[in-house]
Amino acid sequence: MLVLTRRANQSIVIGRDVTVTVLEIRRDQVRLGITAPRSVSVHREEVWLELEKTNREAASPPPAALEKLKDLRPEPPPEP
């Protein structure tokens, strides 16, 4: 992890396309502004984790659905 010290209105650049600017510092909160292309997703960590969880659940079929698929599969022909 790279740790940097920045003051209000100072920025860091990530790659060529992403700029993070410290907009305001108030007690224990820091407001950040992020400039990035639309193709780059920017989320708060807790939102990102929830999206990942939801995507994993959507990609994993329930066991009952897998059983139904087994029932649809034809039996292999007997070996001669």
Which tokens in the block code for residue 8? Answer: 């209000």
Number of Cβ atoms within 10 Å of the Cβ of 6 = 14
Q: Tell me the C-alpha to C-alpha distance, in Å, between residue 2 and each of 5, 7, 12, 17, 52.
A: 10, 16, 11, 18, 24
Q: Per-residue pLDDT tens for 19-41?
A: 999 999 999 999 999 999 999 99
Q: Within 13 Å and on the Cβ side, how many CA atoms surround 43?
A: 10
pLDDT of residue 69: 79
Which tokens in the block code for residue 45? Answer: 């960590």
pLDDT of residue 63: 81
Classify strands 18-26 and 11-14 as parallel, antiparallel or unpaired: antiparallel
pTM as predicted: 0.66
More confident residue, 15 or 59: 15
Query: How far is CA 58 from its chain centroid?
Result: 14
Does position 47 have pLDDT exceeding 90, yes or no? Answer: yes
